[in-house]
Chains A and B, each alone.
Chain A
Amino acid sequence: MGVRIEKIDLPGFGVRHDVVTQDGQHIGVLSFRDGHREVALYDPEDPDAILGSVSLTGDEASALSDLLGHAALLSQLSDLGNGTIGLFTEQLVLPSDSRFLDRPLGDTQARTKTGVSIVAILRGNDVIPSPTPAEVLRMDDLIVAVGTREGLDKLDKLLAHSQV
């Protein structure tokens, strides 16, 4: 299922990418050559004219794309684990008193003990896809896991184990 994106040159200014959403709406992304970006929405009464646009600096644009990127990753994951084949996706918050805090992921032995796969860790604005056992868990990490209902419940308990 591809997304329709058209690229249109704006000679002298930069380029405009036109994203056509599934329900037929257009989103214009203007990339100017000086690096600043604008996101524009179109007027339903006059589809050639923009209704308004939001100007973004390079940093703001990349922060926004990260946000949307998280959403995209999560929606892909929930597609995978929509329950029809007995798999579920869950985001688990690492409890602040967990004994796995500041310890490598491998120490949890999550896979062996619960049969659940940890497919990503969300940390602030960063996504760590397919983390290795060496990845150290930090405060406020969101752990994205795929597994059976039972396995996920077990993992939840396992992570909640407080420091002894």
Chain B
Amino acid sequence: MHDETWMLIEVGALLFGLSLLGRLAIKYGQSPIPLYMTAGLVFGSGGLLPLHASTDFLSSGAELGVVLLLVMLGLEYSPTELVGNLKSSARAGIWDGLLNAVPGAVFALILGWGPIAALVMAGVTWVSSSGVIAKVLRDLGRLGNRETPIVLSVLVLEDLAMAFYLPILSAVVIGASLLEGAITVAIAVGSVTIVLYLAVRHGKKLSRIFHPEQPETLLLGVLGLTMLVAGLASQVQVSAAVGAFLVGIALSGQVAHNAEKLLAPLRDLFAAIFFVFFGLTTNPADIPEVFIPALILAAITMSTKVMTGYLAARKAGIGRPGRWRTGVALMPRGEFTVIIAGLAVSAGVQPLIAPLAATYMLITVISGPVLARITDTAWFKQRMKAAAKREGALVGSSK
């Protein structure tokens, strides 16, 4: 049989299998992402049933998956939301960065992986998963809660921070000399700033290229422009993901709204392939070695996320139960953890980063949404009441 035929068979069987796994996950109220990645581990090199003919397709698909994930993220936010959040929650964003990126970096240094791996691991532990968290908030009926805008603004700031972090990371991992590296970073950061400024100021003009009421031309146009910009961005070391994110931000109004609807099914398909592919490139034989470190890292950085949320919510005047809810909601890591680890692995930074990041992400994605329900339990509510009473007694006695 031809390779193309095998490709159809392998990809078809894979997607069909993913759909069954996804149904299973959704039935138990879980995100399907961990199962997608596990499927990748099973079919990858060193796995039970290695795939052959479809790896090229899956590799391109995974690249497209990153681009689509990021352009959708950009489309979801309007430029005014971004700027507004930057002004109102900058401090929460800085706490978030310090509390969650530093443990990852320190961890890499302790393992003796060197400074570049430390920069990678900082990103791996820093960013929460907007996709998973948005779903958790919806499932738990917390969208109307007063702490929810704080959760969302932390996520927005992280995504925005990635627009600067990823170019810096891609410049550093290609191992340029100090001067070359500095120049690349300056170009990257400069172009991101300029594009972001233009997107916020003149995004409407860009949107006018497209006709919002013609689904076919809109789909081709937006997808084409996104891939084009992503490719060009990647060419100048700004990283394809960031290019796609910026296109998403720049589009606004009806064009953005309709493009979001059209691209959503594509995103679902290629994002699934992206997670599978990361599983494929990770050798499951490496996992036992990194499992305990990943567990420790997850425990530490999930606690620091809770702390981030708690502090940010306290600053915004949210009551004690709401502060905990903010914290527990932020725990799951996701797409960025995998994107960052993937970037590092393809540049050959430290081969163990892939299994570590995969295990770490699986632990947080599986346990995060479950732990987020703690704040809805009678036990938690009882404790909050008791704490409030103690505080009341303290205030009373000090009179």
A binding-site residues for B, Cβ under 8 Å: 8-13, 16, 18, 28, 30, 33, 38, 40, 42, 45-50, 53
Contact = CB atoms under 8 A, between A and B. Distances in A.
A11 B144 contact: no
B303 interface: no
B321 A46 contact: yes
Contacts, number: 68
Interface string B101-133: 000000000000000000000000000001000
Interface string B76-95: 11000110110000000000
Task: Place the interface of chain B in its size category.
Answer: 20 to 34
B14 to A, nearest CB: 30
B44 to A, nearest CB: 32
Given A46-B322, A48-B321, A11 B146 contact: no
Interface residues of B: mostly helix, strand, loop or mixed?
helix
B81 A53 contact: no
Contact of A30 (B144, B147, B319, B322): B144
Contacts of A13: 134, 143, 152
Contact of B149 (A9, A42, A50): A9
Contacts of A9: 81, 84-85, 149, 152
Contacts of A40: 144
Contacts of A11: 76-77, 81-82, 85, 152-153, 155-156
A9 B89 CA distance: 12
Contacts of A12: 76-77, 130, 134, 152, 155-156
B318 to A, nearest CB: 5
Contacts of A18: 146
Contacts of A45: 385
Contacts of B143: 10, 13, 30, 38
Contact of A48 (B141, B156, B322): B322
Contacts of B82: 11
Given A8-B149, A10-B152, A38-B143, A49 B322 contact: yes
Given A48-B322, A53-B144, 18 more contacts: A9-B81, A9-B84, A11-B81, A11-B85, A12-B130, A12-B134, A13-B134, A28-B144, A38-B144, A42-B146, A46-B319, A46-B381, A47-B146, A47-B319, A48-B145, A49-B142, A49-B325, A50-B144
